[in-house]
């Protein structure tokens, strides 16, 4: 099938399957799946600027469905989601402007590829280290008989002491989030959201691969709530990202529409699956995914052409 | 328990098959008709294209979610 906007020939079945896979990832991990979608589009010869913008458009549709599912399951902190949307929008605009600068310089594909490899590998390494450490310490506690009943199901993180120190920072104004059960400075939330927004605007997608871990480790949000809230927030910020990239000529909405047909089914499966796994196990299962994205980008860099 | 899981899998497989037929029809009817118009819009009127793109993806999300939910409910109801 020919997509005239991005001037690319792509099999629609390939797009539906990619959409289906990232739909499951989105529903399960609360991430947009851009670490798979972006490289998957690059693999078909779509330029990075189109891969970034189109992925954002597809994520708007996918996140609407997944966020609705998570809202029904009580996994969304609306107050936190709205606050984060402001920071993310600012960051997304910065990221989109960076793409424009690289586009004009003529090296957008090379620079974004290298940044993507570094970011995806870094995220995977960090989450592997943290979730294994958390699972090991939880196992040790239960073997020593320290953890009983409901306490054993509590969402733990090896990053807990750092999170508690961040929550102790009393920088006015302090925000209480009853749904998440924390009180934290508004600036910490906005900073986390802004950084996520920059990555989203630059590498595409909702940048859930950086914001979801940040929400858990930096803000101290329970993993299930972080997943749902991240998706809710992505609906707002990715809509803005789509608009700003579309007016810059970086969105092929036809590709996004086709990918989204597969994502609808995948998102429903993923959202239901989160009910059967504990937080650290969800995070451990997340580890190979950014590495797959990094491997695809390395392949396109080495071969220099599509499959 | 095993019987229940097999039943759920069968319903899901039927849902996927019906959904696949609907998606193929969608490709040929909607995307084929919209393609030229969207291409023209993207090259001539970027701001309108950006708004239309958002409306299309959000609209498709709502419609497809409704279709899959109804389909799932219908097939579950019939399999009982």
Q: What is the pLDDT of residue A153?
A: 44
pLDDT in tens, B5-41: 677 677 777 777 877 788 778 777 777 788 889 999 9
Which among A60, A249, A260 is the nearest to B54, CB-wise?
Answer: A60
Q: What is the pLDDT of residue A157?
A: 59
**Any B CB within 8 A of A264 CB:** yes
Residue at A206 is within a domain: yes
The alpha-carbon radius of gyration of chain B (Å, integer) is: 18
Alpha-carbon distance A32 to nearest alpha carbon in chain B (angstroms): 15
Closest CA to A135 of A208, A223, A22: A223
Q: What is the pLDDT of residue A187?
A: 93
Main-chain phi, psi angles of A63, to 5 degrees: -70, -30
Q: What is the pLDDT of residue A82?
A: 92
Q: What is the pLDDT of residue B35?
A: 87
Residue at A86 is within a domain: yes
Q: Which domain holds residue A208?
A: 9-138+158-303
Tell whether the model's pLDDT for residue A190 goes beyond 90: yes
> Based on the structure, what is the number of domains in chain A?
1
Residue A186's Cβ-count burial label (10 Å; 0-12, 13-18, 19+) is middle
Enumerate the β-bridge partners of residue A89: none
List the domain boundaries for chain B.
47-80
Ranking A52-56, A137-141, A235-239 by mean pLDDT, the lowest is: A137-141
**Any A CB within 8 A of B5 CB:** no
Q: What is the pLDDT of residue A186?
A: 92
Determine the residue among A17, A245, A253 to mutate to test chain B binding: the one whose Cβ has the most chain B Cβ atoms within 10 Å.
Answer: A253
Which among B16, B46, B53 is the nearest to A253, CB-wise?
Answer: B53
pLDDT in tens, B42-57: 999 999 999 999 999 9
- Residues comprising chain B, all counted: 80
* Inter-chain touch A62–B65, beta carbons under 8 Å: no
Tell whether the model's pLDDT for residue A307 goes beyond 60: no
The residue-averaged pLDDT of A187-191 equals: 93
Q: What is the pLDDT of residue A151?
A: 42
Instruction: List chain A residues with CB under 8 Å of B25.
Output: none
Q: What is the pLDDT of residue A65?
A: 75
pLDDT-based confidence at residue A264 (cuts at 50, 70, 90) = confident
**Any B CB within 8 A of A22 CB:** no
DSSP string of A101-159, one letter each residue: HHHHHT-HHHHHHHHHHHHHHHHHHHHHHHHHHHHHHHHHHHHTT---GGGGGS---TT
Tell whether the model's pLDDT for residue A304 goes beyond 50: yes
Alpha-carbon distance B47 to nearest alpha carbon in chain A (angstroms): 6
pLDDT in tens, A142-186: 555 544 444 444 455 556 777 777 777 778 889 888 888 888 899
Please name the residues between 15 and 54 in chain B that touch chain A, using a CB distance below 8 Å.
15-16, 19, 23, 26-27, 31, 34-36, 38-39, 42, 46-47, 49-54
Residue at A27 is within a domain: yes
Average pLDDT for chain A: 82
Report the complex ipTM. 0.86
pLDDT-based confidence at residue A219 (cuts at 50, 70, 90) = confident
């Amino acid at each position: 099938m020919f997509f005239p906007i991005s001037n690319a020939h792509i099999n629609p079945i390939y797009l539906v399957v990619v959409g289906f896979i990232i739909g499951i990832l989105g529903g399960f991990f609360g991430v947009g799946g851009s670490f798979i979608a972006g490289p998957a589009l690059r693999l078909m010869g779509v330029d990075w600027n189109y891969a970034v913008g189109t992925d954002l458009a597809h994520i708007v549709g996918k996140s609407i469905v997944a966020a609705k599912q998570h809202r029904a399951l009580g996994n969304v902190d609306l107050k936190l989601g709205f606050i984060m949307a402001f920071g993310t929008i600012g960051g997304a605009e910065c990221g989109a402007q960076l793409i424009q600068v690289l586009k004009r310089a003529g090296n957008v594909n090379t620079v974004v590829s290298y940044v993507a490899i570094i970011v995806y590998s870094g995220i995977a390494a960090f989450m592997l280290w943290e979730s294994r450490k958390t699972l090991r310490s939880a196992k040790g506690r239960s073997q020593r008989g320290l953890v009983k009943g409901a306490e054993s199901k509590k969402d733990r993180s090896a990053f807990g002491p750092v999170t508690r120190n961040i929550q102790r920072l009393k920088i006015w104004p302090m925000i209480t989030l009853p749904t998440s059960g924390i009180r934290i400075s508004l600036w910490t939330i906005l900073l986390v959201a802004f950084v996520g927004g920059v990555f989203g605007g630059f590498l595409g997608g909702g940048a859930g691969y950086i914001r979801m871990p940040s929400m858990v480790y930096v803000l101290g949000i329970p993993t299930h709530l972080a997943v749902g809230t991240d998706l809710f927030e992505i609906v707002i910020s990715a809509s803005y990202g789509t608009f700003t990239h579309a007016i810059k000529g970086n969105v092929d909405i036809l590709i996004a529409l086709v990918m989204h047909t597969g994502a609808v089914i995948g998102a429903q499966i993923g959202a239901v699956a989160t009910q059967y796994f504990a937080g650290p196990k969800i995070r451990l299962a997340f580890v190979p995914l950014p590495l797959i994205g990094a491997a695809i980008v390395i392949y396109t860099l080495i071969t220099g052409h599509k499959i | 328990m095993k019987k229940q899981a097999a039943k759920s899998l069968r319903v899901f497989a039927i849902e996927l098959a019906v959904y696949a037929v609907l998606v193929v029809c969608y490709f040929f009817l909607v995307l084929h008709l919209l393609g030229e118009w969207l291409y023209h819009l993207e090259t001539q009127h970027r701001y309108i294209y950006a708004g239309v793109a958002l409306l299309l993806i959000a609209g498709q999300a709502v419609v497809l979610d409704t279709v899959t939910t109804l389909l799932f409910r219908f097939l579950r109801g019939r399999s009982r």
